[in-house]
Structures are given as C-alpha cells and as structure tokens.
Copies of this chain bind each other. A is one copy, B any other.
Amino acid sequence: MRIGPLLLLACTALIVRRIAAQENTAPGSLQVPARTLPVPTDVSPELQKIIAAPRRPGWDKLWKTGEEWRAVANEQAAQTLETLPAMRERLHVTVKPTTIDGVRAFVVTPDVIPPEHRDKLLIHVHGGCYVLSPGESGTGEAILMAGIGHFKVISVDYRMPPEAYFPAALDDAMTVYKSVLKTSNPTNTAVFGTSAGGALVLEMMLRARQLGIPLPGAIAPGTPMADVTKTGDSFYTNELVDNVLVSRNGFCDAATVVYAHGHKLSDPLLSPIYGDMHGFPPAILTTGTRDLLLSNTVRVHRKLREAGVEAQLEVFEGMSHAQYQFDDRVPETREAFGEITAFLDKHLGH
C-alpha cells in the first residue's frame, strides 16, 4: 500500500493531538517525537555489533514468582555456560567452585598474578536483577576482572529466588566478605559487581558500616541498580533506547519485585541511593550513554562526591546497560576493566 504525504500528515496531526491530550498534563513535560537512532560510528566495530543487536528478547516478560524466574535463569545459564570455557582460555583464567562459611562461591584465578597483586583479593557480586545468572553462569565478570586485571577474585554465588529472597543475596555476600577479612587486610580487598551486583556492592558498604565491620580499600559498582523505585531521568530518556533493560517497566523491575518479596523498594538495602554514603571507600563507576541506569549511576557518583568520597565516573559512548562486560573481545571491555584495574592499583594497599 502506498501512503500519500497528505494522509501521513493528517495521521501525524491526529496522533500528536491525542498524545498531547493524554499525556501532556504534567507541566514542563517534554514531547519527543519518534526517532531513528543509527549505530554510532565512533565506537569499535565489535561494540557496534552489540549496539546494533535487537532489544533483548523477553524484555517485556514480567514473571511473578521465584519459580518462574528460576526457569528463565536456568535456560539463560545453560547458554552462558557454553561460552565460558573459551573465554577462560582466552583470558588465561581458571575457575573452581568452593563453599565459604556455608555460602557457595567460585575462586577465579588468573594464570599470572604480578607480585603487587599477590596480597590483594577481590570479591565479585554478579548481576542479573537478583534472579538471573545462578551458579557458574554468574562468573563472567569475575573472569574479565581476573584475566584483564590479573587479580585473584572470589565470585559469590548468592542464593536467589525461589531458594531465598531479600536480603539473602546481601547476607551471602556479607558472609563471604567477613570470611575474607579473617585472612586479608581490608585495605587489600575490593568489592565489585554490575547492575544488581553494583547495587549489592553499595548495600554491602551500608551493612558493613551498620555492623561496624571495616570497609574495603576500594569498590567498583558498575551501573548499579541503586534506585529501584523507577526514579531517575534516564528511565525515561533511555526507555526503548537501551537494548538490554529496555524499559523501567520491563523484566528487571519485575524480577526485583519478586526478590524484594514485599519489602519496601526504597529501603537503602534495595535502593542504596537513599543510604548515607559518608565514609565509603574510593569508588569507580562505569556506565554508557544509552544505559537505562545512566541516571542511577551518575546520581550515585554525585552522592559519593557530595559525601567527600573519591569517586571516578566512566561513561562509554553508545553503550546500553552493562555492555562493557558483554564480551572480552570488545576493545571497550578491555578499556573498562583496564580503568578499574588502574583505580584499584591506586587505592588498594594503603
């Protein structure tokens, strides 16, 4: 069917009128017309492929129970597990399961650890909206950090729905952290993670301070789910622009609600942006211009800075949520973990 320009114009006018009538009630709201976003040309060809990928399949599936999420998680984990052996080989890293004071974990060790890293130990808290990436499938980011940064890493395989709900993930991460402190100087340890993992890093700092436990020498919360109350401008500006999380009303929100299990979402132990960040260790934060959590990330950065914390912000061109840790063969992945390594080298050990 051919569409004449006049019909098109008429249609546009009708729709704009209807949108205006329905939505333009809040003063100052901005109407943004439909747009086409080309793949940016100023990133590596490898990253261009990731940016050009269609929106995540199932982004709008809003499962309501831990059992349903576990089925999704297992399906995705099976796919992820297939990719890990080649990645470990490329990065010269070995991964071994362990149990630390009853908590499942993986010890992630690079073949080569330089002398200045031999007394350092990193704790990794994986992402996945508190329901995804169970077992070994959650070790990808730990492998990147170990392989690119040449640090020994312990990756926490925290309990998730339906095995357990809030605050199980935080409890398990704290158990591992406390255990590590028995043999490591806190100034020689760092905690890192992305998305829900990034939020857990911040939640751990709040909890450790509550408990009077020493904080680590540095933290690296990547694009943290620091505000799960859907507050933040990029929840709107990057809606349907981010091809990973896609929407504030998508799968990740639904999953978080299941994990929270009725607990108030604005509790700083679920939305750490509402916590007091004074006294936090030096922090490096990583995000991208298309990230649905761009605002979450820059708000945490600003809040840390206001609290007098040394905090470094890295924003990667064109990246949606957490894409700096999607593939070790992408130059920008090397760059992101290179920055984290340099930051840890600067701040650990004193």
Total contacting residues, chain A, CB less than 8 A: 67
User: Complex: how many Å from CA A38 to CA B41?
Assistant: 30
- Contacting A318 at CB < 8 Å: which of B17, B37, B233? B233
Digit string of A12-38 for contact with B (CB within 8 Å is 1, else 0)? Answer: 101111110001101111111111111
Please tell me if the beta carbons of A28 and B52 are within 8 angstroms of each other in the complex. yes
Q: Is B241 in contact with A32, judged by CB distance below 8 angstroms?
A: yes
Contact (Cβ within 8 A) B34 A39:
no
Q: How far is the CB of A159 from chain B (nearest CB, A)?
A: 32
Q: How far is the CA of A30 from the CA of B312 in the complex (A)?
A: 30
How many copies of the shown chain assemble into the complex?
2
Q: For A16, A19, A27, A299, which residue has the most chain B Cβ atoms within 10 angstroms?
A: A299
Quick one: closest B residue to A243, CB to CB? B30
Q: Are B42 and A36 in contact (CB under 8 A)?
A: no
Binds B, one of A56-64, A97-105, A301-309: A301-309
* A238-B237 in contact given A3-B14, A32-B35, A289-B295 (Cβ < 8 Å): yes
Given contacts A17-B3, A237-B241, contact A32 B41 (CB under 8 A): no
Q: Contact check, B317 vs A335: say whether CB atoms are below 8 A apart.
A: no
Give the complex CA separation of A23 and B37 in angstroms: 10
Interchain Cβ contacts under 8 Å between A and B, 26 examples: A1-B14, A7-B14, A8-B15, A8-B18, A15-B34, A26-B38, A26-B39, A27-B39, A28-B49, A28-B52, A29-B37, A30-B36, A31-B36, A32-B34, A32-B36, A32-B37, A32-B240, A37-B236, A38-B236, A42-B299, A232-B317, A233-B290, A234-B289, A298-B316, A301-B315, A313-B315
